[in-house]
Amino acid sequence: MQMNTLGQTDLTVSRVCLGTMTFGNQNTQAEAFEQLDYAWAQGVNFLDAAEMYPIPVKADYQGMTETIIGRWMQARQNRDQVIIATKVAGPGEMVSFLRPDMRLDRRNIRAAIEGSLQRLQTDYIDLYQLHWPDRATNYFGRLGYQHQPQLDGTPILETLQVLQELVQEGLVRYIGLSNETAWGCMTFLKYADQLGLPRVVSVQNPYSLLNRSAEVGLAEVMQRESVDLLAYSPLAFGTLSGKYLQGAKPEGARLTLYPEYTRYQTVQGQQAVEAYVDLAREAGLSPATLALAFVNSRPFLGSNIIGATRMDQLRENIAAEQVSLSADLVAQIEQIHQLYSNPCP
């Protein structure tokens, strides 16, 4: 397992990060422990969670993901060896049950960190991330930016000052962003550099063969500013495995259970998936391995956040970390990308 230094930190993280958003809903605690034990044995030391997980979000089981991770670390007595990343939720109807008047302000961030620390059974978080911005901007697949400053929520400076308090108190080691734009990232960095506040060290955004939008503007920011990408949905909800082609609905699969998740089901997206699946098979690789190996090869990658509901999926996804793509194969990927550029933002 390749290990990377995350941004400008002293955190050494595995190139594969275990995403845990199915723990407590699609996966039971016993199944989650099996996944965690296997990933740990393969050299994965980096876990990503969020206060609102598991997904789909529901008040009945919100927080169970962190609770399960906390129980696992207690059972294995390995907290000091695990790099834990979790997130505070931003405003939005889907999480309105969490707290009244959801914002990225002091009241909300304080309440969120206290809950996460309790559930994780720890006294510090290695990487604390803002799950999405507290302003109207493009994220979660939204295109066509519309400037609406009247919808700005908590000022970025105020949010960053609260995060500084958490760092100073030892509750958080480093901070990161998620579902953020190039402008947002640079604004956080500007205030950090000008006012001596904590610098963001990572941005967790979607990145896959179906969505390389991070390359348009954010990649330059990340590489010039030593901010690493934590790539989520590298298999596009499993779409890039090819299992949903021709309208297939495999039993127990995520998009079979939750058909409302249509982000990666566009017509062009399906055409792109067909092309990538054919290319993988010609190269003697599984489609999932091709997709993950491509993400693993990116120079701005800090860690690739994989997720699985079954152990065979987990084994394949972690094993892809050992696969290197030839220059010829990457060139063929680029040819497909030119035909189907970012079909699923």
Taking a C-beta distance cutoff of 8 angstroms, is the pair 108, 99 a contact? yes
pLDDT at 253: 84
Distance, in Å, from the CA atom of 178 to the CA atom of 38, rounded to the nearest integer, reads 27
Q: Residue 150's pLDDT is what? A: 94
Cβ burial, residue 332 (10 Å; 0-12/13-18/19+):
middle
Taking residue 247's Cβ as centre, other Cβ atoms within 10 Å add up to 7
Instruction: Strands of 93-149 (E only): list them.
Output: 125-130
* pLDDT tens column, 163-210: 999 999 999 999 999 999 999 999 999 999 999 999 999 999 999 999
CA-based nearest residue to 274, from 345, 340, 207, 341: 340
Percent of the chain whose predicted confidence (pLDDT) is above 90: 92
- The yes-or-no verdict on residue 211 having pLDDT over 90 is yes
Query: Averaged over 29-41, what is the pLDDT?
Result: 98
C-alpha to C-alpha distance for 96 and 100, rounded to whole angstroms: 7
Positions of E strands within 137-271 = 172-178, 200-206, 228-232
The dihedral built from the CA positions of residue 74, 32, 27 and 120, taken in this order, carries a sign that is positive
pLDDT for 26 equals 94
Q: By three-state DSSP, how is residue 108 classified?
A: helix
The DSSP 8-state label assigned to residue 7 in this structure reads T
Residue 179 and residue 79: Cα distance in Å, rounded? Answer: 27
User: Catalytic residues, which ones?
Assistant: 53
Burial class (CB in 10 A: 0-12, 13-18, 19+), 49: buried
Round the average pLDDT of the chain to a whole number and report it. Answer: 96
Q: 140 phi and psi, to 5 degrees?
A: 55, 40
Pair 213, 145: CB distance under 8 Å: no
Average pLDDT of the residues in 31-50: 98
Strands (E), the chain: 3-5, 12-14, 16-19, 46-48, 83-88, 125-130, 172-178, 200-206, 228-232, 301-306
| HEC-encoded secondary structure of 288-324 | HHHHHHHHHCCCCEEEEEECCCCHHHHHHHHHHHHCC
At 223-266, the pLDDT tens digits run 999 999 999 999 999 999 999 998 888 888 888 888 888 888 89
CA distance 208 to 309: 19
pLDDT at 143: 86
Confidence of residue 37 (pLDDT cuts 50, 70, 90): very high
pLDDT bracket for residue 54 (50, 70, 90)? very high
Evaluated on CA atoms 234, 235, 237, 240, the torsion sign reads: positive
C-alpha span between 176 and 163 (Å, rounded): 10
- Which among 176, 177, 189, 182 is positioned nearest to 217, based on CA atoms? 182
Task: With beta carbons less than 8 A apart as the criterion, state whether 157 and 191 touch.
Answer: yes
Does domain 3-241+295-324 fall into CATH 3.20.20.100? Answer: yes
- pLDDT given at position 1: 96
Angstrom distance (rounded) from CA 281 to CA 88: 40
Confidence bin at 269 (pLDDT 50/70/90): very high
In 3D space, the residue among 268, 257, 278 whose CA is nearest the CA of residue 339 turns out to be: 268
